[in-house]
């Protein structure tokens, strides 16, 4: 299923915006960005999948900004 969510399509310039929308739980905005960059065909119609995969992409560092990297570094040690 992960192959159906291609977060590498998302330009790095959009990472901080996407993270902000996820943190604010603004899933319509997350879906809009997801659709705009063709991350997945499921952006609009599978909110649970969108939430899960967006969080996964952030947690694994696929989507990141400086704040996320620092936060993850402090969590890991």
Which run of H or of E encompasses 36? helix 27-36
pLDDT of residue 65: 84
Q: Per-10-residue mean pLDDT for the chain, 77 residues long?
A: 81 96 96 96 90 95 74 48
Query: pTM for the complete prediction?
Result: 0.79
How far apart, in whole angstroms, are the C-alpha atoms of residue 51 and residue 57? 10
Q: What count of residues does the chain have?
A: 77
């Amino acid at each position: 299923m992960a192959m159906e969510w291609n977060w590498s399509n998302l330009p790095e310039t959009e990472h901080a915006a996407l993270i902000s929308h996820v943190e604010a739980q603004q899933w319509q905005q997350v879906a809009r960005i997801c659709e705009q960059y063709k991350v997945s065909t499921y952006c609009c119609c599978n909110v649970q999948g969108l939430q899960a995969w967006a969080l996964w992409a952030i947690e694994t560092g696929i989507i990141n900004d400086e704040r996320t990297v620092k936060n993850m570094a402090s969590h890991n040690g």
